[in-house]
Amino acid sequence: MKAKAVRKSSATRLKATSKVAKKSAAKEGLPRPKRKTEEQTLQMIAVQWFRKAYPNVLAFHVPNGELRNRKVAEKLQRMGVLAGVLDWFMFPGFERIALDFKSKKGVLSNEQKRFMIAWIAAGGKCVSVNSIEQFIEVCTHFCGPSFIDLANKHPNPAKLGVNIGV
């Protein structure tokens, strides 16, 4: 009989990755990574809202700037990782929007400011938000009314052009 491979759950893999990051940080004299920051929490809430409000708009997070061990960081640099890239990108219609999530006291780094200048020069737009309200305002400005807004204004699905099958 063949031994059955046991796949670890994503939570188990995440814990293992977190332990490696903590050990790596300790070896290199860096502060230990925090579990969740205010900015990460804001981003997670915003993305959950966005996915429901604009399911057809291409948008994604760029995993840049996380604490990594030296070998992984060197490999990613060789692959083209760029310092200062903002947190999140959305592409409603023909727009190119780069967003950065900041805490109330958070400020953009010099690398982020340089990235923003280059992004704008390439025809994109940049926004930094520090609350869910600001994020929703930005999305409404660039993407138009959300499905959530439309549903609240027109609770009858037939008015939204939604066909309810029986």
How distant, in Å, are the alpha carbons of 3, 38, 47, 54, 62 from that of 51?
A: 40, 20, 6, 6, 16
Q: Is residue 90 part of a domain?
A: yes
Structure tokens at 93: 């219609």
How do residues 113-134 score in pLDDT, each as one tens digit? 999 999 999 999 999 999 999 9
Rounded to two decimals, the pTM is 0.66
Mean pLDDT on 82-101: 94
Q: Is residue 107 part of a domain?
A: yes
pLDDT at 160 over 50: no
Q: Is residue 145 part of a domain?
A: yes
Q: Does 95 or 22 have the greater pLDDT score?
A: 95
How do residues 16-70 score in pLDDT, each as one tens digit? 444 544 554 455 555 554 545 889 999 999 999 999 999 999 999 988 877 778 8
Give pLDDT, residue 31: 52
Give pLDDT, residue 126: 96
Q: Is residue 49 part of a domain?
A: no
Number of domains the chain contains? 1
d(CA 43, CA 129): 10
φ and ψ at residue 63, rounded to 5 degrees: -75, 80
Q: Is residue 140 part of a domain?
A: yes
How do residues 134-144 score in pLDDT, each as one tens digit? 999 999 999 98
Give pLDDT, residue 153: 59
d(CA 138, CA 160): 23
Mean pLDDT on 133-159: 75
**Cβ(89)–Cβ(59) under 8 Å?**
yes
Q: Is residue 2 part of a domain?
A: no
pLDDT at 166 over 70: no
Q: Is residue 128 part of a domain?
A: yes
Q: Is residue 65 part of a domain?
A: no
Please give the residue range of the domain that contains residue 115: 84-155
